[in-house]
Chain A
Amino acid sequence: MNDRMRIRLLILRVLVLSLLVTLGARLWVLQILDGERYRRVAETNRVREVVTPATRGMIVDDQGQPLVRNRTSLVISVNRSTIDRQSDKGRAVLDRLATVIGMPRAEIEQRIRFCSATVKAPCWNGSPYQPVPVAKDVSSAQALAVIEHPDRFPGVSADLQAVREYPNASLAAHELGYLAPVSQDQLDAQGGEKGYHLNSLIGVSGLEYTYDDALRGADGVERLEVDRFGRVAGTASTTDPVSGDHLVLNLDLDVQRAAEQALGKTLESLGGGARAASAVVLNVRTGGVVALASLPTYNPSVFVGGISQTDYSALSDPANGTPLLSRAYQGSAAAGSTFKVVSTAVAMQQMGAKGDDKFDCAPTLQVGDQIFHNFDGSSAGPITLHQSLVISCDVIFDKFAYDAWVADGGLRNGRGPYQEPKEYFVRMAEAMGFGSRTGIDLPGETSGAVVDRADAKKIWEELKDSYCRRAQNGYPEEPDPVKAERYRKYAAEACVDGYLYNAGAAVQFSIGQGQYLSVSPLQLATAYAAIANGGTLYQPTLAKATISPDGRRTKLIEPTVTGHLPVSPEILAYIRDGLHGVTTEAGGTAAGVFADWPSDLVPVGGKTGTAEVEGKGDTSWFASFAPANDPQFVVVVSIPESGTGAEYAAPVAKEIYKALYGVGQPAALPGGKPPADLPELGRDGSFGGGAGTTAGPAPSAQGAAGQGTVVQGAVVQGAVAPGVAGPEAAAPGAVLPALWPASGPAAHSGTEPAAATSAAGGAGRSPP
């Protein structure tokens, strides 16, 4: 042993020490500096979540009648983590279960296997700790067979689960929407923030989508600690599920039903097929949607538990009329003469026409080389704008539009010595909400189309090349050579001067025709509501409030004003008066339809429309409001491929008014008013029948007139004898049953005491 060796040993000592210090430092980094990150990893390593879905809130109408509720279903579920631990991988248990529920074991095994890239449905894509539902709606005997023998059925459970139920079948399907399991993308993007879990059902359409956050509630989560083999070692934490809020709508079930039935009857009379139709009822004072009907429709219960591919294809097939699509807010078309309210407003507000000025309703108007006819080529001579609305004279509005077009520079498109084009008609249409979404609380709304000069040019620039190609190549795919040549000529013209906003287009626009205008029934209803209420544009809103499971009001959805019409109140009143004339004056386009209508009690203002569609039948429109002198509701009906507005749409609107006001039937909205109060949530968790539903007349009026007529008594108060109280109101009401024989039993009980009538008001609303 020498000194040099000692020195080398000292060096070794330093080396050893530094290695140990390195380890200590690394340990410090791992346990203390980076510890938090690793502990999170450890958490996911060890903890598995078992989710108890929250009970979703109900959707009820303005009076508390359920549109969507939850039904309990006895569900048999299999817990994989228990089954897999059986010595035979649970084969015996599943065999026993198969005999109980009458489903082959192979099928049960398919349902409980885990989904993967190669394993497709039926399979389970939830957590292995989550019981997999294998049979829904089993009988209580079957459930008991499982529950009473836990020894024979380890890992099998039978529980009551809530599933969505639609007590009115297809009613208001487009508005209610449906649920679907959350997608992986949504889960990744919003899972934490929204409280989604794997297999959570979320609203993907309609109100279920818009108010998903309120309806869904918060799922209960039990966090289980597991070991490496997935065996449960204990419970880390438990959160109980919190039920979702109930959603109360402005929509009224009875009005909705009346609208759908009236539309359905009309479509039937037209021959059915792929035909569609829609109707909108709005509360003009709030924008509340009282009914929003579109046919064909579907029963949302096909989506419960997952829709099959066949069903889904059928619902989106145009040959069936694309039932998934709501024509009321997702479809748009030319508005026809219903659009003349816009043109009247322009003529009076911007072009200086006065109410008693007379204009020549000639049979034709020549614009360049085009001749525009009145609808039936008739001449009415010099008439006022009022009469022009009543008889729906085209030529007078054509003339205003032509003059405005000339003043805007005609074909010169605003260049040269002319000023910027004013485009009164387009601007007025936009001010009334056309061409943009109304903002209704439903997804997928259409914005329709309003095309001005700049837009027209932009569109042409995009399409120019294809026009010019067509001008050269023609339309070889068109079998009719005459048509093909006509299309080719049109393409040739468009290729050269398609950017020009020609007089013809401007004239067509003023009467709601042509390619530069497309409106949805909901947009038209919103515009008419604004005209009816004195100029305020409301955002149409289906939901009125949310109510917590314990009955507290959690949110009141206030009316939202989206704009004001740039039209003076006097002009609006003039227009309303003209529209009232449509249903009441001689020559009014809807006077025939409303001939038997009690216009003295519930005056209706409306406008028919007949929009021509190239190659198809006309679209029948009726846009209206009532009572005309103090508007409360707007009703718009649209029936494509039918005929004139007076022939098809107006009668449907009349049917809806009958239901609203109770003409010949129990009134859907007693007093002709939407209920002022929210329905009360009963102790049993359902909404009590008719609670707080009557708003309006004094009990004495009800008592005197009975149910069928009570309502009209209320209207009379406002319409004919403002300020005159109840008892007088009963007088005209007594006459009514004779004029409109009622089918309902209540109509005959004219002398029922007040209290009983009030109760009958509720009873009359129960589903037939």
Chain B
Amino acid sequence: MTQDPGPTALRSSPVLVRGRIGQLRDRASGRHSPLRRLDWPLQISVVALALIGALLVWSATRQRMEEAGSDPQTFLKRHLLNLAIGLVLGAAATVVDYRILRAYAPFVYLGSLVGLVAVLLVGTTVNGAHSWIVLPAGFQLQPSEFAKVALVVGVAMILGEKHEDRYTGIRRGEPGHGDVLLVLGLAVIPMGLIMLQPDFGTVMVLVFVTLGMLAVSGAPRRWVLGLVLCGVLFGGAILQFHLLKPYQEARLTSFVSENKATSSSGYNVDQAMTAIANGGVTGRGLFEGQQTQGQFVPEQQTDFVFSVAGEELGYLGAGGVIVLLGVVLWRALTIGFQSQDSFGALIATGVVCWFTFQIFVNIGMCLGVMPVTGLPLTFLSYGGSSMFANMVAVGLLQNVRLRSRSDPYAL
């Protein structure tokens, strides 16, 4: 449809009175239709990253699956399935007006807490962390991933309310001490539950999300600085008094220690770095990386998926992945910037903090400059829960985008 009737024309011109179906078609494809007004650069980048991820996961696993007598495409298919489900979940998160979502935020939050408690009761231990609930048909659920979404929504609700009245839109000022305390209370509960699994990496994501959202919301500066200081002291104390389990400490410190090969996490990083360096400028080609195909890098389809990109796609490919991730973060921040209310802006802030932290820690780990924390690389790493949570987060961004102030024709 090339004709652009415009809202006025739609209302006034009897000539253009159409049937119900025609109207729907116009809404779907017109300039101001929600489909058109989605943030397509964001969406395309996300889907492209997930597809690249599918190839990398496939490359890292097909040899092993074949040797095990399984379908070598198992992981490829599942990653694509995860993407499809994730897109549906994301669409759902987009369609519901986030201002309505705000009303349900407490339930989302409570639901995530139920998941976190459940995992402690009936969960399965993988790689030392009690983080998974095994579902029928070979699926697993990782409630801590959904806790990220819940926390973003929950914190945005509390801090956003202080800016505008939900119904009148009247500005009510910046968050006060009470709000900050409420946010901290809200954040500490899932953090504590996740710490019990224990999944230190996810706790750190939640810490950064909370801090980031507090800082952007305009919470009292002394709170923000004080919390950062507390974090530093706490981190120092943890290492000083060996409060972490030995393997956790080894993961954290192996990237600065000299004899990397002695610890297994040092070995992982060494192999990942070797694989990435082996890629050179143009890479070895998909399925051609000797390190990858020789299965030298452990956990390569999840935590170390970036090393597949490094070896097989080279600097151009791996750099391209970083650029695509940059586009996602850039668009997310733009969406936050253009949001018509603080709630939307804070959701975007939370998602950006979450993604940024995971991306930097994960890729930094593969490049040997960040500690090994077991965080997946958003959109690329294999993992259903992570994919679903990421896609829901993207859906929320699109939701904010569709209803942003810069769009006078928001639905």
Contact = CB atoms under 8 A, between A and B. Distances in A.
B344 to A, nearest CB: 8
B326 interface: yes
Interface stretch (A16-24, A116-124, A127-135, A181-189): A16-24
Interface stretch (B2-10, B98-106, B228-236, B330-338): B330-338
A39 B277 contact: yes
B281 A31 contact: yes
B291 A45 contact: yes
Contacts of A20: 322, 325-326, 329, 359-360
Contacts of A32: 280-281, 315
A41 B294 contact: no
Given A27-B322, A225-B290, A39 B278 contact: yes
A1 B169 CA distance: 10
Contacts of A1: 163-164, 339-342, 344-345, 405
A227 B329 CA distance: 37
Contacts of A22: 360
B215 interface: yes
B33 interface: no
Interface in A478-526: none
- Residue of A4, A12, A24, A229 ringed by the most chain B CB atoms within 10 A: A12
A46 interface: yes
B287 to A, nearest CB: 13
Contacts of B344: 1
Kindly state the interface size class of chain A when it binds its partner.
35 or more
B352 interface: yes
Interface stretch (B69-77, B196-204, B363-371): B363-371
B161 to A, nearest CB: 13
B248 interface: no
Interface in A33-51: 34-35, 37-39, 41-42, 45-46
If over half of A's interface residues share one DSSP class (helix, strand or loop), that class is named, otherwise mixed; here it is helix
A42 B311 CA distance: 11
B176 interface: no
Nearest to A17: B326
Interface stretch (B14-22, B89-97, B186-194, B268-276): B268-276
Contacts of B294: 45-46, 225-228, 233
Nearest to B336: A9
Nearest to B339: A1
Contacts, number: 140
Given A2-B163, A34-B277, A19 B356 contact: yes
A35 B337 CA distance: 40
Interface residues of B, number: 56
A13 B337 CA distance: 10
B277 A16 contact: no
B44 interface: no
Contact of B349 (A9, A42, A45, A233): A9
Given A1-B341, A20-B329, A30-B273, A12 B216 contact: yes
Interface in B332-389: 333, 336-337, 339-342, 344-345, 348-349, 352-353, 356, 359-360, 363-364, 367-369
Contacts of A8: 215-216, 218
A6 interface: yes
Interface in B211-238: 212, 215-218
A242 B38 CA distance: 70
Contacts of B315: 27-28, 31-32
A738 interface: no
A491 to B, nearest CB: 59
A31 B275 contact: no
B314 interface: yes
A91 interface: no
A12 B353 CA distance: 9
Interface of A: 1-2, 4-6, 8-10, 12-13, 15-17, 19-20, 22-24, 26-28, 30-32, 34-35, 37-39, 41-42, 45-46, 225-229, 233
Given A17-B330, A19-B356, 16 more contacts: A1-B345, A2-B163, A2-B218, A5-B163, A5-B218, A5-B345, A9-B348, A23-B364, A26-B364, A27-B363, A39-B278, A42-B275, A42-B277, A42-B278, A46-B294, A46-B296
Lowest 8 CB-CB distances: which A-B pairs, in order? Answer: A38-B277, A227-B294, A8-B216, A228-B296, A42-B278, A26-B367, A31-B315, A228-B295
